[in-house]
Structure 1
Amino acid sequence: MRLLLLLVSLSLFTSCTTHEEEIVVRNTIEAIGKAVGLLKSQYKEFNVDGLLGYTILSEQIEGTLERLDAKKNPYTSILLRGLNIILKESFINATYYTKRRTPLYFAVFEELLSDEFWTLPTSWLQTTPELVYPELSDESSYFDEKSSDECFSLLLGTSGKTKETCLVTPFCLRRITQEKCTDYALSHQLLYLMIGKMKHCQDDLIVKEFDHYANIFCANMMKVNLDIEQSGYPVGRQDLFMENILLCGLCGYSDFYKLEWMNKIISWQNPIFGCFGNIESNDNFENPYNGDALRKRVKRMERRFLDGCLSHKTSVAIASLGGFLYFSTYE
């Protein structure tokens, strides 16, 4: 009932907005509100990767609230505060069931679901087209989900091999600095660096070379997104498209926040359930019998529920939209 009242209030708010910033705020809050409603009603169905997007979204809402408060925008602030309260309450319920369903995977990545783990950019830059790889490597698929999970867990100290945190092994170093990767291998290279930075790791790769590699990776992730746009946003590439916006946006690359891309993402949202889906036959899904994943691609673990709703795709969608919302307050 409380969520319904907030959405009704939002509909009243939308009728009197005219400026581009207000349009961004209006449209993203409406889409986010539907996604929060999904989490509230389907809290038993999300996996760890799906909940990650809601964790980041909560931080983006709080960051937006700080900016809105400074601009004396109380009405929108009330809407966002209400949504964030519902989000946090629903998140607690979802976490309980996710932990029960996949306890080992949850234990490895639990820290990523913490309110205090993720930080938002406070300054902005643009990608550099000159850094785009002239050609791609045949080895770009070697940094798959299994190896990326292992490298992530070594940073977090949850690999099971050692409790030491921020461990950058020669294997992981080779995978992260490997040139000419694309698609999920490329985005996971950036995610590795981001986890190390959020974890405050002191390895030279994180401290001294983060900006260097982030510039390269996001330039190439922009090229991937432009190619996806040019090809008409194929269903099987939408998840990657939104993941690139989410990650590079969190690194402060503002040119990923194109208004037409925001509107395109919102158009993919299920208007009834508030989720994002459209199943491809080669997607990976959690095994319902043991909670593990069929790892055939380097895409993050996916879980299907409701009428074609996808947990990971919904996660990257709502967190990318949260990025648009947060960035709009800087314009």
Structure 2
Amino acid sequence: MLRLFCWLFLLNGFPSTVVCRCYENHLVEEVFDSLEKVLNYVDVNKEFMNVDAVFGLVLGEAHVVYLNRFNQIPEEYKEKTFKIMKKFERIVEETKTFLLINKRNLIFLNTVLEFEPWIKNVTYKNLLAKFYSSTPIDTYQKYLNLLLGSSFNEKISDDCILELLQQEKSFRSKHLCILSEECYKIFRLGSQTKFDPGYGITHSLLFLQIARSRMCELNGINVKRNIKKFCSYILWEMQENVGYGFLGSLDDLLLEQITLCGYEGYKNFITSEIIDYILSIQKPSGCFGVDSGNKITKKTTRLKRESNLLPDNCIDHTTGLGVSTLTSILRYLLYKLLNNECDYYD
């Protein structure tokens, strides 16, 4: 309703730039409100958040810390962003204490669940979607079959991430990290055209992002080039999903795609259409999770091996991704306002 109010300016002869500024200010307010709601939900359910969910919180914290540390905030949003940052600090630290129960979590707590290595400058740019296949994917059913055909193995993926983290020396200086042949294969690091779809490729991307954040050099792998290549394929997958009207069973995957490729600054993952959809799937309680009205087969819905089903049909993993996605969206919107960029009235 508030955004509709902005269009009255256009009807009354105001310049389109004024309309756009009004629209985006209201959009920023909506994203702030949604972020507050999901953080409040996490605050109440801290003991049920697993490692993956906390990673979403940490990535979100890194975004808002960067905004505050480097003063990348329009004047009118500085106080609100600072308050969000302090809220992140408290909730993340309190939530992490519940992970101490499991000794396996200690290595994650001391590495990827520290926000400092995830703080980075983001240069926003567009990306060309590329799809690699010997057979065309031109129907809804072929698209679903492609995702269902993924050979992604979550346990092996986690083991490979641990293999990387257990040999690191410091995230403050570059060092060579040695991977087993199996890990090179599961993440398709040597392939130019063959990718494991869905969560397979998002985890390949995540693995490279973790390696980069820990200053890890991988023998024979150009991390920057591979990250771009992976996101170009992920963009194709996401655009297919958008083209089919957003499949509710793929909401968790969509949030993961936006979180990881949005972190790389690819604007294609943060369009007005996508922002509106993300805001629409947040549940009244503030969380993100299972679409109870979903008509798609349950095989396409991801419930992670260690995911926790929470009140209001919510999932800790999906809710953590909701946090990181909303902060990625917020950071981009604040960047646009700060740099007088506007493209939402077209």
User: Given the superposition, is the C-alpha separation of residues 138 and 310 from structure 1 closer, same or farther in structure 2, using an over 3 Å criterion?
Assistant: closer
Q: 2:126 maps to which residue?
A: 126
Alignment of 1:65 with 2:94, yes or no, is no
Please give the secondary structure, in 2, of the residue aligned with 1:112: coil
Look up the match of 1:55: 58
Amino acid at match of 1:210: V
The reply to whether residue 109 of structure 1 matches residue 112 of structure 2 is no
Decide whether aligned partners of structure 1 residues 119 and 279 sit closer, same or farther in structure 2, where only a CA change above 3 A counts: same
What's the CA shift string for 1:15-63, capped at 9, x where partnerless? 9x95344233212111100011112222112111111111111111122
Query: Counterpart of 2:93 in structure 1: which amino acid?
Result: I
Q: Of 182, 185, 198, which aligns to 2:200?
A: 185
SS of residue in 2 equivalent to 1:330: helix
> Could you tell me which residue of structure 2 aligns to residue 98 of structure 1?
99
Structure 1 stretches lacking a partner, 5+ long: 1-10, 287-292, 294-300
Equivalence for 1:32: 35
Query: Match of 1:202, SS?
Result: strand
Letter in 2 for 1:83: I
User: In 2 relative to 1, CA 76–221 (structure 1 residues): closer, same or farther, beyond 3 Å?
Assistant: same
Change (3 A) 1:284 1:329: closer
What letter matches 2:116 in structure 1? E
Answer yes or no: is the 8 Å Cα contact 1:157–1:166 preserved in 2: no
Choose from 308, 319, 329 the match for 2:313: 308
Do the aligned residues in 2 keep the contact of 1:245 with 1:257 (CA within 8 Å)? yes
Distance 2:127 2:234 in 1: 9
Instruction: Please point out which of 194, 207, 220 is paired with 2:233.
Output: 220
- Decide which of 261, 284, 287 is 1:275's aligned counterpart: 287
Q: Counterparts of 1:104-253 in structure 2 under 5 Å?
A: 104=104, 106-110=105-109, 111-129=111-129, 131-135=130-134, 141-157=150-166, 166-176=177-187, 177=189, 178=191, 179-206=194-221, 209-253=222-266
Shift in alpha-carbon separation, 1:70–1:142, aligned structure 2, 3 A: closer
Aligned-partner Cα distance in 1 for 2:290–2:303: 13
Question: Cα RMSD (Å) of the superposition?
Answer: 2.9
Q: Is the 8 A contact 2:72 2:335 kept in 1?
A: no
Contact 1:108 1:158 in 2 (8 A): no
Quick check: 2:176–2:219 contact (8 Å CA) kept in 1? no
Q: Is the 8 A contact 1:49 1:315 kept in 2?
A: yes
Give, in angstroms, the shift of residue 210 of structure 1. Answer: 1.5
CA pair 217-70 structure 1, distance change in 2 beyond 3 A: closer
| Aligned-pair CA distance for 1:86 | 2.1
| TM-fit CA distance, 1:166 | 2.8
User: What TM-score does the superposition give when structure 2 sets the normalisation length?
Assistant: 0.76
Q: Distance in 1 between matches of 2:89 and 2:308?
A: 21
Going from structure 1 to structure 2, the CA distance change for 1:284 and 1:233 (only over 3 Å counts) comes to closer
Q: Which has the larger radius of gyration?
A: 2
Q: TM-score, normalised by structure 1?
A: 0.79
Task: Write the distance in 1 (CA, Å) between the matches of 2:147 and 2:280.
Answer: 34
Cα offset, 1:312, TM superposition: 0.7
Q: Is the contact made by 1:44 and 1:93 (CA closer than 8 Å) also made in structure 2?
A: no
Q: Please tell me the residue identity of whatever aligns with 1:197.
A: R
- Contact in 1 for aligned 2:177/2:219 (Cα 8 Å): no
Post-superposition offset of 1:306? 1.3
Q: Distance in 2 between matches of 1:72 and 1:80?
A: 10
The one-letter code of the counterpart of 1:148 is S
Contact 1:246–1:320 (CA under 8 A) maintained in structure 2? yes
Equivalenced residue count is 293
Structure 2 portions without partners, runs of 5+: 7-19, 136-145, 169-174, 293-297, 337-346
Query: For the residues of structure 1 that align with 2:64 and 2:161, how far apart are their CA atoms?
Result: 26
| 2:338 counterpart of 1:323 | no
The structural deviation recorded for 1:122 is 2.7
